[in-house]
Amino acid sequence: MKPNEQIEQVVRTLSNSPNTVVVTGAGISTEAGIPDFRGPNGIYRQLGEDRVMNIINIHTFNQNPALFYDFYRQHFVLPPVEPSKAHYILAEMEKSGFIKGIVTQNIDGLHEKAGSRRVVAVHGNSEQYVCTNRHCRELYGRDKVEPQTSGVPTCEQCGSVLKPDVILFGEPIKHFTDAQDMIMSARTLLVIGSSLTVYPVAGFVKAFSTFYQDLIIINRGPTQLDHAALVKIDRPNTGETLEEIYYYLNRTGK
């Protein structure tokens, strides 16, 4: 289909769907200036996946938090960024009733910052740190923790080590059931900026595609489920694509 025909079909599908859920990956946040860690120039390629996995690992964190934090600060702590156009449009689509919620594989917190309310962040949120003492579990914003540029940050309440509130290798994902339930309860699934190679979310999307036909994918480059998609849009700018879709959705109504 030509791009305009693709947009028309997406608009028609979303406007008729009683329950659309969005799944987002790194591609939506690269437009906000956040690097894709698994991309061609990402840290996994530069340093080697094995090295990254061995350090950004719950066992390394528990046994040698100083080593963990030296590496984490150098490679994973990024300057604050603002949400991209795509993040803001998805928040507006939720307010307008065109989507019911978002399952994101990203840890940047940009969906929430843009105003989205129903967000399941399966890999956690790098905008906050959590006390590792299970009797305390105090949360701290990054503005409280990250000015400390060396050593291991500790909880002001109990003195225990703080951990970035993200899923490290060797940990189960957060909100597994919530993510699975949200995806499998949808009637239309809109995947944005993900090649669908990271599990278990990719598995949830694959399971959805075996039951329902209304899978829409917006991603630069191929994905693992292009063959199952009702529509696949491959464009360089996700924000502009969503802006066009939202424009026609507003004209069509819900």
Average pLDDT, stretch 14-25? 96
Highest mean pLDDT (candidates 1-5, 27-31, 110-114): 110-114
Ranges of H-type helices in the chain: 3-16, 26-30, 43-47, 49-55, 58-63, 65-75, 85-95, 110-114, 142-145, 176-184, 201-211, 238-252
Question: Partners of 57 in the beta sheet?
Answer: 169
- Known catalytic residues are 123
Summarised one tens digit per residue, pLDDT across range 51-66 is: 888 899 999 999 999 9
Q: What burial class does residue 182 get, using C-beta atoms within 10 Å of its C-beta: 0-12 exposed, 13-18 middle, 19+ buried?
A: buried
Average pLDDT, stretch 33-43? 72
Summarised one tens digit per residue, pLDDT across range 168-218 is: 999 988 899 999 999 999 999 999 999 999 899 999 999 999 988 799 999
- pLDDT at site 213: 79
Domains of the chain are 1-34+83-123+173-254 (3.40.50.1220)
Give the predicted TM-score (pTM) of the model: 0.91
- pLDDT at site 50: 83
What distance in Å separates the CA atoms of residue 211 and residue 104, rounded to the nearest whole number?
A: 21
- pLDDT at site 254: 57
Summarised one tens digit per residue, pLDDT across range 64-104 is: 999 999 999 998 888 889 999 999 999 999 999 999 999 99
- pLDDT at site 253: 64
DSSP string, 82-131: PPPHHHHHHHHHHHTTS--EEEE---S-HHHHHT--SEEETTEEEEEEEE
Mean pLDDT of the chain: 92
- pLDDT at site 223: 94
Phi/psi zone of residue 196: left (φ > 0), alpha (ψ -120 to 50 degrees), beta? Answer: left
Between 33 and 139, whose confidence is greater? 139
Angle at 126 between CA 64 and CA 205, to 5 degrees: 110
Summarised one tens digit per residue, pLDDT across range 214-238 is: 999 999 999 999 999 999 999 889 9
The length of the chain in residues reads: 254
**What is the band of 160 on the pLDDT scale with cuts at 50, 70, 90?**
very high
